[in-house]
Structure 1
Amino acid sequence: MNDITPENELSERISAAALAIEDKVIAWRRDIHEHPELSYQETRTAALAAEHLEKLGYEVRTGVGITGVVGVLKGGKPGGVVALRADMDALPVEEKVDLPFASRATAQYLGQTVPVMHACGHDCHVAILMGVAEILAGMKDEIPGTVKLIFQPNEEGSNDGRPSGAEAMIADGCLQNPAPSAVFGLHVTSGIRSGVIALRPGGLMASADRLKIDVEGRQTHGSQPWRGIDPVVTSAQIILALQTIVSRQLDPTLSPAVISVSTIHGGVRNNILPDSVAMEGTIRTHDEGVRAEIRKRIDRTASAIAEAAGAKATVTVFDGVPVTYNDPPLTDWGTNSLKNGLDPQRVTEVRPVMGAEDFSYLARVVPGMFFFLGVVPPDVDPLQAPANHSPLFRVHEPALKYGVRALSYLAIDYLKRT
């Protein structure tokens, strides 16, 4: 068999191969979509991926990080190692899209029976990587090195104290034996027109930390607030003041950030001021220095306001995923590679996104590059399309072949340079 061909010929071969298996990729996606599984419950999806890899001749390891799958393809020529990642889990969301393969599944989530839907597009990610696996297996003898495919559980978070899927798989050796020198991944999005790839060097997606603030006052009758300490008003003052940390205490030209209080609980009757109020929220940043500074300022702000009211505020920040950081040299190279492998008009730069991704853990171990693939239907304005995590999230399936092309080309092109 001939050596790997020049860029334009390689691009044409991969494009033709992706087109040839497009129907299979769409069928896989629909099957996975109809049978979604929550975080760390992805046994059917993992078995589907593992069986596919085994048939293609990959060395397959299952049960990595609980339900993860790792496939290794050793090329016919010596070279480096590159990793590609897809996440597998769905969300506790009831599907409201009228499709013949719409999900009707339910599952147990935090002790409750809930509807389950691939509302974030991870069904697409699995199907895309299965397509990539088939293309690369067909070019095995030509590949100068080794490709490692990572099918990861629990990207969304199980909310039961267990680590994210990326953390669990790393702890279970997914980036060892062999160790890749780079990892690539993608995420479908309804915010970009179909078939367009968007990325940026540096911070692409935000860190996501969970914020909890407990305010202790002193219970009293609602008609006599002066006889107690009102934690409700104090909490309201804290919530408003937290917004000034981003708008008045941080340099907005340095890095975007968001502090959102999303839940507030306290009291049992309309005429009783309670002893305490509990709030929870999220902190999103694109810079580790800003991330640390915001934590200090939240504690200082909440504590000072509570003290002024005679109350007490206890601030707890639970570490979430770090910034999804695209290694700049790798991303500069990867952007040019994608432009060569696809149509340059399909590759663009995107602004930082405040959503978060646990791909960030993988990219902390080895240089990483993560990018978005637009899947909004052509007749829908991306600004108006239902967002990822919506029960109305919908995928324009012809976009999937561009994800297959992108990851296949990146893998081979990267190994050619190592």
Structure 2
Amino acid sequence: MRSAIHFLGFTLLGTLAAGICQANETRWVDDAVAAVNTQVIDWRHDIHQHPELGNMEVKTSALVATQLRSYGLHVRTHVGKTGVVGVLEGGKPGPVVALRADMDALPVKEMTGLAFASEVEAVRMGKTVPVMHACGHDTHIAMLLGAAKVLAEHKDQIEGTVVFLFQPAEEGAADVDDMDARTVIGAQAMIRDGALDAPKVEAIFGIHVMGGYPTGHLFYKSGTVLNSSDTFKITVNGKQTHGSAPWSGIDPVVASQGIVSGLQTLVSRRIDLTKGMGVISVGTINGGSASNIIPETVEMTGTIRTNNASIRQSILEKMPPLVSGIAGAYETQSVLQVVHHAPVTVNDPALTEAMLPALMQAAPGKVERLDSSLSPSEDFSYYAQKVPGLFVFLGATPADQDMQKAPNNHSPYFTVDDATLATGVKAHVQFVLNYPHRRSLGSAAL
């Protein structure tokens, strides 16, 4: 981290020096962000108190579209179902960049005790569930709305065009079964509906708040930054019989335990761990109706996470014959379903290093390089497969708190410090302002 990093023939030191000159030209950003900060916080509180599940972000989308139109942006709605795309043309010629925020909440009952805590319930796949912004998407929306306002008010300073992507269903869709592999949602649906094509985007940026990381700090990593995500369901069919006479039936419970154990060998014995890591976790096992009956069927579901594309592919290729083979050994039959939610999220190396000045201008003295990739997954990865992308993390926990004890994202106690929102707004703005200059240093790599 302390050694010189070369980028297109320039040392990182030289790139940062150039960033100082760029900073002198964008000193207005801090004042502009400060002017909109109260409104950003108000938006965040309102959105947090009124969360909506994936593909159900109707009121949230309406709020976003209304605000973007009030700034004079060209706005498209119903992109990827409930997504919103806003386009701002700058006052100077230049490239097209995109900024992305996700809008959906989670089926979690809020336990934070905040004055603006959610009490919302909604229907997810026919069941009424509590709803909470337990992953910070409320802050993502508010920060990007704030950045859009700042950039629109200073569009004469912008070189090129900015595309604002407000995406639904990053966490999944309330109207789509988790095991439905046919329906396209989230980032894939936005891409299908032309979110990156009109106008043609050449680079994309995203920010995600993180519990357990200090407020106002930005964290980044070149290359692999988040895991892939695949969900599986295995149905094991046997022959129901009385528990006192197992020999008269075929036991899917015993077969299921063999499958659970066997799945772990895919990671421990059958993939090259020098390339990265992989995890296969079974989260649910359901079967049977009484203690003295061997059931006809057992169903299990789980998740596959990896930080390497070849490891992911290897697991996905080896899993079907392993499951069917173990099931057959117990004289049962199995059905395996796998749904692919997100590939590995990869930050474009050249873009990452080129944007260091932008990060440092957004959070002076509070920018840190991650030593390793993080375990969650994000469908931002689909955008980054289409165009160079950079996905960074923003600390959400006050610096005086114990980071090890802070509730993580997806916890019912997860909270975000409002003081960190201004840094997120600045980062979005600085990405837009810095990208054309970095691009001119080496357009071939960007």
Common topology (TM > 0.5): yes
Matched, 1:145 2:166: no
Most deviating of 183-192 and 218-227: 218-227
Alignment gaps of 5+ in structure 1 = none
Alignment partner, residue 91 of structure 1? 106
Matched, 1:407 2:428: yes
Write the letter of the residue equivalent to 1:174.
Answer: A
Distance in 2, Cα, partners of 1:276 & 1:387: 36
Report deviation, 1:274. 1.4
Write the letter of the residue equivalent to 1:14.
Answer: V
Alignment partner, residue 116 of structure 1? 131
Distance in 1, Cα, partners of 2:327 & 2:257: 11
Matched, 1:22 2:43: no
Are the counterparts in 2 of residues 199 and 350 from structure 1 also a CA contact under 8 Å? no
Alignment partner, residue 391 of structure 1? 412
Are the counterparts in 1 of residues 87 and 162 from structure 2 also a CA contact under 8 Å? yes
Alignment partner, residue 285 of structure 2? 264
Q: 2:51 aligns with which of 36, 42, 47?
A: 36
Alignment partner, residue 12 of structure 2? none
SS at match of 1:203: strand
Matched, 1:349 2:358: no
Identity between Structure 1 and Structure 2 (%): 48
Alignment gaps of 5+ in structure 2 = 1-18, 440-446
Write the letter of the residue equivalent to 1:362.
Answer: Y
Are the counterparts in 1 of residues 210 and 395 from structure 2 also a CA contact under 8 Å? yes
Cα deviation digits, residues 183-231 of structure 1 (max 9, x gap): 0001111031111111212221111111121222222221122222211
Distance in 1, Cα, partners of 2:220 & 2:395: 11
1:303-342 maps to which residues of 2 (within 5 A)? 303-342=324-363
Write the letter of the residue equivalent to 2:380.
Answer: F
Alignment partner, residue 443 of structure 2? none
Report deviation, 1:267. 1.3
Most deviating of 29-38 and 307-316: 307-316
Distance in 2, Cα, partners of 1:368 & 1:173: 17
Distance in 2, Cα, partners of 1:112 & 1:316: 23
SS at match of 2:208: strand
Most deviating of 156-165 and 83-92: 156-165
Report deviation, 1:304. 2.5
Distance in 2, Cα, partners of 1:132 & 1:6: 22
Are the counterparts in 2 of residues 82 and 415 from structure 1 also a CA contact under 8 Å? no
1:186-197 maps to which residues of 2 (within 5 A)? 186-197=207-218
Q: 2:169 aligns with which of 154, 157, 161?
A: 154
Cα deviation digits, residues 269-308 of structure 1 (max 9, x gap): 1111112211111111122211111123222322222222
Distance in 1, Cα, partners of 2:331 & 2:100: 51
SS at match of 2:87: strand
Distance in 2, Cα, partners of 1:190 & 1:411: 26
Distance in 2, Cα, partners of 1:90 & 1:294: 30
Matched, 1:291 2:312: yes
| Cα distance, 1:135–1:6 mapped onto 2, change above 3 Å | farther
Alignment partner, residue 16 of structure 2? none
Most deviating of 261-270 and 327-336: 327-336
**TM-score, normalization: structure 2?**
0.89
Are the counterparts in 2 of residues 322 and 361 from structure 1 also a CA contact under 8 Å? yes
Write the letter of the residue equivalent to 1:304.
Answer: G
Are the counterparts in 1 of residues 110 and 413 from structure 2 also a CA contact under 8 Å? yes
SS at match of 2:366: helix
Distance in 2, Cα, partners of 1:394 & 1:298: 38
Structure 1 vs Structure 2 CA RMSD: 1.8
Report deviation, 1:348. 2.6
Report deviation, 1:11. 4.8
Question: Between Structure 1 and Structure 2, how many residues are aligned?
Answer: 415
Are the counterparts in 2 of residues 195 and 346 from structure 1 also a CA contact under 8 Å? no
SS at match of 1:354: strand
Matched, 1:100 2:115: yes
Most deviating of 372-381 and 276-285: 372-381
SS at match of 1:255: coil
Write the letter of the residue equivalent to 2:87.
Answer: V
Are the counterparts in 1 of residues 216 and 363 from structure 2 also a CA contact under 8 Å? no
Report deviation, 1:336. 4.1
Distance in 2, Cα, partners of 1:22 & 1:369: 24
Matched, 1:225 2:246: yes
Cα deviation digits, residues 67-86 of structure 1 (max 9, x gap): 11111111111111000000
Cα deviation digits, residues 338-392 of structure 1 (max 9, x gap): 1244314333325212211111111111111111111013343222211111111
Distance in 2, Cα, partners of 1:29 & 1:241: 46
Report deviation, 1:65. 1.6
SS at match of 1:61: strand
1:272-283 maps to which residues of 2 (within 5 A)? 272-283=293-304
SS at match of 2:206: strand
Report deviation, 1:119. 0.8
| Cα distance, 1:401–1:369 mapped onto 2, change above 3 Å | same
